[in-house]
Chain A
């Protein structure tokens, strides 16, 4: 394997190694002899790719596309409506930062907060538990968002007998489902996948084997340093050239085949995968993580009658405003294709979810100045 030696002992921010990897990638893509579209499904990967300008060193024949990799972006409007309704019904709703400005069908939690509802940003689910202890008079609802990584933390809290006035509104999502969505989308032309290292720390890389076998596409698990990502791309194009639909792990310093078993046990003890709607994408089989019936007492949906009618506006669809987030998350378009990008849609006044979340592709591209072709500039 040509690249093997290169990423044996990675120094993770070494530009010289990066160039060597980029050249090796170019040779592989050359050998394949046509444009190869590959997808990564992780906002943190996109952050690193854009931040370090990696697209400028990749060969033109390699198309590096971001998929539905941000749990905030794919949280659906009606899910946000539930949280907004709960807040307006008097609950103290706590959640991670980016969820605050994420629009529901009509309003966001930030809007509810401006109207006097108790909405609080927390950095961890345990902080929400602390709030519940501090405010026994309030019903504290934690709006749990994120993939496996954060769902595990939510599960741990659920298992630790939290206070009576604490409950969870789960909008947690499940990463492998995201890859299925793309692979099963009829328009997709993706030929290989880079899987999220953080999520794989929990689930293990073995979990992608059935996916690779079923779709006939290779999957490589990658970390988040620039060299991690380049090494993953090299491994991926090698597998593609050899026609192997295998799973490889270039993040062995963190990810094992079976993953973190105790974390998985608590995850599946508390949650079960259910079909849910992802924003801009449609129904996703096993895409959402719901609390199991045994945890109904912690499930805000079971504990409260959530009436979303007053905060709902079915007609206020993002697509109607010209937002193409859905196509972007499926890898069928990029932010540059959106007429609103950087004009009426900017981080301070986002039109769609992808500009709200710091892991959203529109927001990332905006932060890092878009991605024009810089391969030849100034060299």
Chain B
């Protein structure tokens, strides 16, 4: 549909349609068959069969502006991101994390120490030891400040893919949506919004463990709504599971500050990144049990059922606004706040 582009743009990194297209066109050529879930599944990570268990591996590079933001920093983000990607595949006990850092010439040492302290603390919180690393320094302007890469490995008894949805399944979000993205955006664009916009960045493996304990095999798909937000995740789950998804907009947990900021800059909280939330799809019969387990955990206090999978319109995500229904567009490209 889209003509191939000659150059990579920012939109190719923003978790939307353009990025998926690029991955499919370019990176999937790297995929080779594995016993388990490999690159071609485009899941949160890979799962390779080892005996009767699964070795789950995931990697992520982190860039964020500003690197210190309300509610967190790039260090906490990089550890949480990888721990969460493992957890989304059902691997809630990380064996170890690696950490590779690329720094720009002139990067303040005090900032680096602050970032590393935050990584250490988050790793302890997640019970995820950091076991090896690598450091590179590049010239001025050759890299923007700091790039942090973390890789994680874990063993799991059962793998949860993101393709397991069937009509009738319910989708739960583990807490309020849009907090991270809206906090970053208001900082970046210096919106000086009233209220308390804070990132939700946190490691979720403990929370997910509770959900899996309660739901067992009835937990059929999980994904953390980072770039592309909840909308992106639901689009992916709808496409992979070949179902339609109807979101009940009135049920969405959104903090007032986030809602207000969204209305102000013209960006839907459904589209912005979360760093401490999961979308968990369950068979309807297990929804109550899973919800109760999530709500009993401090990170899941406002867990809510937000959507239902339907047989009609496979691949489509439909928003029931309470007034009517419309399609929820798939996020694409950078989110641009309204300027007028």
Task: Report A's interface with B, CB cutoff 8 A.
Answer: 13, 15, 18, 50-57, 96-98, 121, 123, 226, 343-344, 346-348, 358, 366-372, 374, 377-378
Contacts and interface: CB of A to CB of B under 8 A. Distances in A.
Given A97-B340, A378-B308, A378-B320, A15 B327 contact: no
Contact of B340 (A57, A96, A369): A96
In the A-B complex, the 7 residue pairs with the closest CB atoms: A369-B327, A97-B339, A53-B324, A53-B326, A15-B322, A97-B340, A378-B246
B1 interface: yes
B310 A55 contact: no
A53 B321 contact: yes
B16 to A, nearest CB: 10
B339 A226 contact: no
A358 B340 CA distance: 8
Nearest to A48: B323
Nearest to A98: B340
Residue of B1, B2, B313, B327 with most partner-chain A CB within 10 A: B327
Given A98-B339, A377-B246, A372 B327 contact: yes
Contacts of B313: 377
Given A18-B322, A53-B325, A367-B329, 4 more contacts: A53-B324, A55-B326, A374-B326, A377-B313
B278 to A, nearest CB: 24
B338 interface: yes
Interface size bracket, B side: 20 to 34
B312 A378 contact: yes
A369 B340 CA distance: 22
A226 B322 CA distance: 10
A51 B325 contact: no
B319 interface: yes
B60 to A, nearest CB: 25
B324 A358 contact: no
Given A343-B2, A358-B266, A358-B340, A378 B310 contact: yes
A6 B239 CA distance: 41
A54 B1 contact: no
Contacts of B2: 343
Contacts of A371: 326-327
Given A369-B326, A369-B327, A348 B11 contact: yes
Interface string B306-340: 00101011000011111111111100110000111
Given A367-B329, A377-B246, A377-B313, A57 B324 contact: yes
Nearest to A372: B327
26 contacts: A13-B322, A15-B322, A15-B323, A18-B324, A52-B324, A52-B326, A53-B319, A53-B321, A54-B323, A56-B325, A96-B339, A97-B338, A97-B339, A98-B339, A226-B324, A343-B2, A344-B3, A348-B333, A368-B326, A368-B329, A369-B327, A374-B324, A377-B318, A378-B244, A378-B246, A378-B325
Given A52-B321, A372-B327, A378-B246, A121 B333 contact: no
A309 B326 CA distance: 45
A13 B148 CA distance: 44
Contacts of B333: 347-348
B250 interface: yes
A15 B250 contact: yes
A94 to B, nearest CB: 12
Interface in B251-298: 266
B155 to A, nearest CB: 39
A378 B243 CA distance: 12
Contacts of B339: 96-98, 121, 123
B244 A377 contact: yes
Nearest to B317: A369
A115 B94 CA distance: 52
B336 to A, nearest CB: 8
A121 B318 CA distance: 35
A98 B337 CA distance: 12
A56 B325 CA distance: 6
B256 to A, nearest CB: 15
A374 B266 contact: no
Contacts of A18: 322-324
Nearest to B308: A378
Contacts of B325: 53, 56-57, 374, 377-378
B326 A56 contact: yes
B10 to A, nearest CB: 10
Nearest to B250: A15
A370 B328 CA distance: 9
B324 A55 contact: yes
A54 B312 CA distance: 20
Contacts of A358: 266, 338, 340
A335 to B, nearest CB: 13
Contacts of A50: 326
Contacts of B244: 377-378
Residue of A121, A123, A358 with most partner-chain B CB within 10 A: A358
Contact of A57 (B3, B323, B327): B323
Nearest to B312: A377
A51 B324 CA distance: 9
Contacts of B11: 348
A292 B321 CA distance: 47
B117 to A, nearest CB: 39
B249 to A, nearest CB: 9
Nearest to A230: B323
A13 to B, nearest CB: 8
Nearest to A123: B340
Contacts of A51: 321, 326
